[in-house]
Amino acid sequence: MRTILTILIVSLLSGCASTSDNHNDLSKIVGDYFSVYSHRNDFERLMSFYDNNAQFEDIIYGNSFKTKREIKEFLAWDKGEFTVLSGDRILTITKQIQEGNTVVTQGFFHEFIYNGQKMGPWLFIIDQEFNSQNKIIKQTDWINYTPREDFLGGKNMNDELIKK
């Protein structure tokens, strides 16, 4: 009986360690993803975080993509001229929550110039789900695009960033 109890306790503790290791691995992968995204200099590396059958939704624009290839065509960092106006990063993370295989990241994009037009700063929330290989299988972007008149109209919640 004592042997069975010992095996059961060791199994339970091993399971907890495995869950913790996976949580740490996913945290590192998410950190790497946002580091690559924020420096915006290695598009192929950014795409390596996505599963081939990943789904992607841009809620504000209403875009929905069902494969890594479609996501790559949508994000396409090589389209247009892009310049970050301050520093070397395009985004700052202000909050991040990880629950199981889901990570929700909140922050803002810094001001930048795209094809000669000044844009940003933009608040964002990015919700990502990962598979057991820690590849993104679903991403939902909520980005408050400005200037509003160029995108949607309505209240500009990003004004608070400019006032800071």
pLDDT recorded at residue 88: 86
CATH assignment, 2-163: 3.10.450.50
Q: Is 134 left (phi over 0), alpha (psi -120 to 50) or beta?
A: left
The residue extents of the domains of the chain are 2-163
Q: Which two tokens stand for residue 45?
A: 């590396």
Within the chain, which residues score under 70 in pLDDT?
1-23, 147-158, 164
C-alpha dihedral (157, 47, 24, 19), degrees to nearest 10? 110
pLDDT value at residue 19: 47
- Helices marked H in 40-97 — which ranges? 43-47, 68-75
C-alpha 164 chain-centroid distance:
24
Give the pLDDT of residue 24: 79
Q: What is the pLDDT of residue 162?
A: 72
- Residue-wise pLDDT for 2-31, tens only, equals 555 445 455 555 554 444 555 679 999 999
Taking every pair of Cα atoms in the chain, the longest distance, rounded to a whole number of angstroms, is 75
Beta bridge partners of 40: none
Residue 145 pLDDT: 86
The 10 Å Cβ neighbour count of residue 86 is 9
pTM, 2 dp: 0.78
